[in-house]
Amino acid sequence: MTIQFPATKNIKNAIRQEIGQTVVFVIQGVPHACTVCSGANLYDSVNDTSLDPFCPVCSGRYWLVEDVESGILSHVRWRTGDESDFGIAGATFTGDCTVTIDAESLSEDQIVKIKKIKADNRYLKAFRTIKRGVPTRDRIRFVCKEVGKE
Ligand SMILES: [Zn+2]
């Protein structure tokens, strides 16, 4: 007998549509050259910086990186209590919040560049990324800790 596991991705997406919310992911952008320095041909190829340390735009760094904010439909779940997970190594931090998104919402390249996540007007730092779903990994869960909170 062959057991056919139901494809549930569309159902999960529909649930997320219904109970989800838009969460802002702050992702480190791709470095681009300072327009002032590149226009003036001030690239220092030896040090990979600008030849003008007083450039008002890049302050001599040459490469500029801007964060990209991207709103993604997510299922946010805040931790209900202050319970700890007492594993073999003692108390393990379980996180303040989990944020789950469709696996197609972000690429692997973007995931490693997530700097912070903003949900319910609070900033979160994702410290664990778990791919979930059977038979295929169709969603990604970020276990997060609120930033600026002990
Ligand atoms: Zn510059």
My answer on whether 140 and 117 are in the same domain is yes
Predicted pLDDT at 2: 84
Tokens of 68: 């990209």
Cα(37) to ligand 1 centroid in Å equals 4
Q: Which tokens hold the place of 92?
A: 């393990």
Asked if 88 and 48 sit in the same domain, the reply is: no
What is the value of pTM for the model shown? 0.78
| Domain of 15, in residue numbers | 1-28+68-150
**Do 45 and 76 lie in a common domain?**
no
Residues near ion ligand 1 (Cβ under 5 Å): 34, 36-37, 50, 55, 57-58
68 CA distance to ligand 1 middle (Å): 20
Claim to verify: residue 49 and residue 123 sit in the same structural domain = no
- Reply yes or no on whether the pLDDT at 49 is more than 90: yes
Query: What is the predicted pLDDT for the residue at 81?
Result: 54
Tally of domains in the chain:
2
Q: How far is the CA of 32 from the centre of ligand 1 (A)?
A: 11
Same domain, 94 and 116: yes
Check if the beta carbon of residue 69 is closer than 8 Å to that of residue 75.
no
The residue behind tokens 């910086």 is 49
